[in-house]
Chain A
Amino acid sequence: MKIRLLTILPAVLFAGLALFPYVSSGSDDGGLVTLRGAPIPESVTDSENALKKPIESLPMERDFTQQPPLVSHAVDNYPVTKNFNKCMDCHSWERYREAKATKVSQTHFKTSEGQDLANISPRRYFCLQCHVPQVDARPLVPNDYERAKSTR
């Protein structure tokens, strides 16, 4: 009897839940619209674009001193938001050993006045402003640029 009751109880509960009137979820696009109110169709991805295919290897050599090292992996869907910086999840000094990643340069622990900080300076927060994924990109303009001697 006890077992029977235990079986019936959730059943009654969920039958009630199923009857609970619920609204339709609407369209699948999540209600995204353009500024003029037109619906935004499914996202279009350009998979043939080489610029979207980062070269997953060791980082390419730098071409000039002070060049920010290139990112040697894809960064799709890596959030860099107010709450969380995915880059720092591997490249911070606390995390780089476990992640086997390059640690952030010490230059990033300074204010613009050169004062040393205990933490990474907030002005360095947006990594991808300087560090971009390395891709097989043709030079936009033909040129005979050569590496600085010191970086050869």
Chain B
Amino acid sequence: MNIKKILSSLLWIKLVGPVAVLSVFVLGILFWAGFNTAMDKTNTEEFCISCHEMKDTVYREYQSTIHYTNPSGVRATCPDCHVPQEFVPKMVAKVKASADLWHSVLGSIDTAEKFTAKRQLLAEREWRRMRANNSQECRNCHDTNSFDYGAQSYRAADQHLEGLEKGKICVDCHQGIAHQLPQIEQGISIVGGEGVAPETFHSAAPK
């Protein structure tokens, strides 16, 4: 009698471990799948332009560029350029981007005029980010080791070889390829001195 009782209680104790391990395992899978799904959802174009104030400004500008419309139909969408693929930088980007929820409520850039007023600030911020990570989001698709210099125009090949040799990165030359640029100081107008400074625009060193 006593022995049976002891045995059954032992059996229960024996089962606790495997059951707990199994349930943690299953919960882990569910959690990870859910997390990934939610994450992927936030990495779609629809999601980006749903709450970010871009639909009538930068999104529309991007639609006439090569990254949206091109002969082969391959498209780079918002996150391909603006969200890192690596886990930790991706999390950092997501948390930083959540500040836009606050600005969405404030309506900081909800009209074209307000956006124009902030365009330089926003553009410079994104250039800084891309310079700091070696234009990694460009390089996720454009691998300079795979360049066919013979297929490039001779000027492009020349500039690419020389620029890369000097340690320049993609965004040092290729700005404003998917969205309009803010005002750039180019020494053309009589007044001058307005807009992004030349040394910021053509900076080669990471800042």
Contacts and interface: CB of A to CB of B under 8 A. Distances in A.
A18 B186 CA distance: 43
A93 B187 CA distance: 9
A66 interface: no
Interface in B44-60: 45-47, 49-51, 55, 59-60
B176 A122 contact: no
Contact of B180 (A22, A79, A119): A79
B186 A17 contact: no
Of A10, A83, A120, which is in contact with the most chain B CB atoms at under 10 Å from its CB? A83
Interface string B24-68: 000000010011011101100111011100010001100111100
Interface residues of A, number: 38
B42 A14 contact: yes
> Which A-B residue pairs are the 7 nearest by beta carbons?
A22-B50, A18-B38, A83-B183, A84-B181, A18-B41, A30-B63, A14-B38
26 contacts: A11-B31, A11-B35, A13-B95, A15-B34, A15-B38, A17-B98, A18-B38, A18-B42, A22-B47, A25-B49, A25-B55, A30-B60, A31-B60, A56-B154, A73-B153, A79-B176, A79-B181, A81-B180, A82-B183, A83-B180, A84-B184, A88-B186, A88-B188, A117-B190, A119-B189, A120-B188
Interface of A: 10-11, 13-15, 17-18, 20, 22-25, 30-31, 42-43, 56, 73-74, 77, 79, 81-85, 88-89, 92-94, 99-100, 117, 119-120, 122, 125
